[in-house]
Amino acid sequence: MSDPQHVDGPVQAGTGPATDDLGTDPALFDLPPGSREVPTRIVLLTGASGSGKTSLTRRLGLPVVALDDFYLDHDHPDLPQRFGIVDWDDPRSWDAAGAVAALVDLARTGHADVPVYDIPTSRRTGTTRLDVTGSRVVLAEGIFAAEIVAACRAQDVLADAICLRRPRLMTFWFRLLRDLAEMRKPPVTLLRRGWALLRAEPALVRHWESLGCRALTPTQAEKEIRALLRPSAA
């Protein structure tokens, strides 16, 4: 599993000459963690496919970044393989650096260009401009959200990181119904993938927690995120 790549913010050069006292050491201009003021904060939301991430974001009505849109194209070199096909459940099939860069732009400037990804054809079809100006919280949801917790925290844009958890059979059933309705893949592939995900889910939750996420039910997560919207949470 690949490590998320760290994305640095823009560096502004000074307009005056350097003095002997200041020198050219960039560390002199470093800001301590938590000192950057950003108008928008990011809540990273992950969980097994079918755990209720999309339903939760709809109920909250907040701006959403679909992190699945940062998948790489199916013909990208060196994609991980499983069952003779690309393993889209492996974070190496996903552009972590691009996702972090977009979230940092949203938090600091209120807008960012993000890819549009077509799951049936497994490729990007274009880009779209997101504008979240005035929003205190933006949700970034996807199965790989936990992979960028550390990077978002380092950039001082993270409000919370949550992984959704509910009974595994419920998650399996909702995932299968959704994928069949959307004709994401052939039915046999969906069943085989779904069974593998059901068995792997406990280990996945432990992994997400180890990366900095809190495991909550959808109801608990909704309560926690709504609390961030109150003025006292600023």
**How many distinct helices (H) and strands (E) make up the chain?**
6, 9
- The reported pLDDT for the residue numbered 36 is 59
CATH number of 37-233: 3.40.50.300
For residue 104, what are the contacts with CB-CB under 8 A and spacing of at least 6?
7, 9, 152, 155, 157
Domain ranges for the chain, please list them: 37-233
pLDDT digits (tens, 9 = 90+) for 154-201: 999 999 999 999 888 888 887 788 878 877 778 888 888 878 888 888
DSSP 2: P
> What pLDDT, in 10s, does the model give residues 45-60?
999 888 888 889 999 9
> Do 180 and 190 meet the contact criterion of CB atoms below 8 Å apart?
yes
Strands 214-216 and 64-66: unpaired
Q: Structure tokens of 110?
A: 């209120």
183 versus 96: the higher-pLDDT residue is 96
Return the closest-CA partner of residue 64 out of 114, 98, 108: 114
CB neighbours (10 Å) of residue 38?
Answer: 15
pTM score, whole prediction: 0.75
Closest CA relative to residue 101, chosen from 5, 37, 7: 7
Task: Tell me the mean pLDDT in the region 27-33.
Answer: 43
Mean pLDDT computed over 205-219: 96
